Structure 1
Amino acid sequence: MFDRLFYREKGLFLQSFHPATVLVYLLVLLILSLIYDHPLYLLALFLLLALLIREVDGLDAWEGFLKAGVFLMLVVMMVNPLVIRAGKTIIWHGPAVPFLGKLDISMEAVYFGAASSLRLLVIISIFCLYNLMINPDKILNLFSGVAGKSVLVMTLATRLFPTMVRDLQRIREVQQLRGVDFDTGNLWQRAKKYSGLYNVLLLSSLEGAMEIAESMQARAFGSGRRSVYSRNILRPRDFFCLGGSLLALLAAVWGLRYGYGRYSFYPEADFLIKDGTTLAVLFIVLFYLSVPLILSKGWKHCRFLKSKI
């Protein structure tokens, strides 16, 4: 069940970027999601992320992230109108409540809660895309030359939970093939069945730790300068993606300087589209952010482009 939330190598184009490229791209997306207030801009980022997650074949994993995100979204949308009283357009006059005063819900407060919830969904989707696009070991290897031992500890720590989940699922399947039914019996009987399951998991984890230690010793870890088995190479696709990310960030900063991307909720909500420049800036930012998506489509359908990037 949890296995789909972790990185899985699928041989997809979006998984072939240099880890530094992916970090820069996702960082730009995260920055834009934090500095943009305009609901239309946040919605556009959310739709772009949906297309990217679909392209990396991660809709199942995204569903798990969205379940938690939608719950938090509903909480924000319900709580915000009750505590924010700055809006002018009152849509419901409520009773007086001790310590809170009169509960007057304004349209601006509901609007602000919805926009904040949308921002939350965008941020959650960015982290989901991170899990789907890049192997965490490659990210940590970027810093291995600076702090090799610390990176090793972090690598082992980040692999601990996914490895235990996979081992637990594998052990459970083996036990079921031997006739063990974990869903039948009373509470005590099921507890005994699961205790045997966790005993095997503990033994498997200890054996895995011994194998890692033996492997490190066989590779003479810590005896000298660290060697590298494989290197990540910057390819044309990485330069295109990096260029698009930086241009999108520059276009966004330029637009924010002139008020495009900002939005005022209180005391009265602004117009969603003030003029054509609002849409023009949004289109430019989205175009540059869509470079990985465009390259992925071209890589699938154009042999010439596939040979060049």
Structure 2
Amino acid sequence: MSPGPATVLLAAVAAAGFLIDSIWALATMALILVVVCMRAPVDRRFIYISGALFSALGVIVISPFTWSSGGGTLLWEGPTLPVLGPLDISTDEIRIAVVNGLRLAVVALAFSAYALRVDHDRLVSAAGFARRSALAVALATRLVPTLERDAAGLAESVRGRGVELHGARGYATLLSPLVAGSLERATGLAEAMEARGFGRSGATRAPRPSWTFADYAALGGAVVLVGVAALWL
């Protein structure tokens, strides 16, 4: 599938995640996105999938204690705390927490699939309009995998010098060299873009393969998905 239709389809999935309030529909979408992300390389997919799922789990676990819907069957009544108020759990609060957690999982996994599975270089080259915006989005998306690769290299270099990094405090020492490396990479990228005449008129493009049936089906599926999600409300 071409990167353009794939990006549109993933954006439609994320938009549908905000519109749909059915637990089973959201769970199905999240499961499909996990399967898509699992096709990425093993060394890259773990941080994306685990980050999305653990964040969604945190919303599901914490949300019922911090928000009161005033409806449903009361399952547990706890103490009343300052600022937070009464800590109680009802069936309505659990359902809302699950829906919000699954929504977060769908949006995060859709972004993960975009970061892991979409060829951002082809996406930028295929952008016939809003070329600068497409480039900015692609560069921002590639920031996380680049920082991940740089952090792994720095940790390996430090390990080779006999220093083992443990815990958040140990890996926090990599923050300064990562920021410095990002600034240096940004300067080099800007110089390379200027040397190649980015933004000037008369730019040429490499030939692109024509769209296939899967690309047109992805665009049609994106429109149908958002339409169904809007009607679901």
Q: TM-score, normalised by structure 2?
A: 0.71
Q: Distance in 1 between matches of 2:91 and 2:155?
A: 52
Corresponding residue of 1:18? 2
Q: Distance in 2 between matches of 1:107 and 1:119?
A: 18
Corresponding residue of 1:57? 40
Q: Distance in 2 between matches of 1:100 and 1:220?
A: 56
The alignment status of 1:137 with 2:121, answered yes or no, reads: yes
Query: How many residue pairs were aligned?
Result: 224
- Offset at residue 139 of structure 1 (A): 2.9
The 5 Å alignment of 1:199-218 reads 209=187, 213=191, 216-217=194-195
- Offset at residue 74 of structure 1 (A): 2.5
- Offset at residue 32 of structure 1 (A): 1.6
Computing the radius of gyration from Cα coordinates, the structure with the larger value is: 1
* Residues 81 and 110 in structure 1, CA contact (< 8 A), matched pair in contact too: no
- SS of the residue corresponding to residue 210 of structure 2 reads coil
- Paired amino acid for 1:227: T
Q: Distance in 2 between matches of 1:60 and 1:166?
A: 10
Q: Distance in 2 between matches of 1:166 and 1:99?
A: 42
Q: Distance in 2 between matches of 1:223 and 1:174?
A: 41
- Paired amino acid for 2:203: R
Of 64, 78, 81, the residue aligned with 1:80 is 64
Corresponding residue of 2:28? 44
Corresponding residue of 1:244? 221
Corresponding residue of 1:90? 74
The alignment status of 1:233 with 2:233, answered yes or no, reads: no
- SS of the residue corresponding to residue 92 of structure 1 reads strand
Task: Render the CA deviation track for 1:55-86: whole Å, top value 9, x for unaligned.
Answer: x3356645423433424532443233443141
- Structure 2 vs 1, CA of residues 206 and 46 (structure 1 numbering), >3 Å: closer, same or farther? closer
Corresponding residue of 1:14? none
The alignment status of 1:180 with 2:164, answered yes or no, reads: no
Q: Distance in 2 between matches of 1:63 and 1:214?
A: 32
* Residues 141 and 151 in structure 1, CA contact (< 8 A), matched pair in contact too: no
- Paired amino acid for 1:242: L
* Residues 80 and 109 in structure 1, CA contact (< 8 A), matched pair in contact too: yes
Which consecutive unaligned segments of at least 5 residues does structure 1 have? 1-16, 185-189, 257-261, 263-309
- Paired amino acid for 2:213: P
By relative contact order (CA 8 Å, sep 6+), the higher-ranking structure is 2
- Offset at residue 49 of structure 1 (A): 1.6
- Paired amino acid for 1:246: V
* Residues 43 and 118 in structure 1, CA contact (< 8 A), matched pair in contact too: yes
- Paired amino acid for 2:221: G
Cα RMSD between the aligned structures? Answer: 4.0
- Offset at residue 43 of structure 1 (A): 1.4
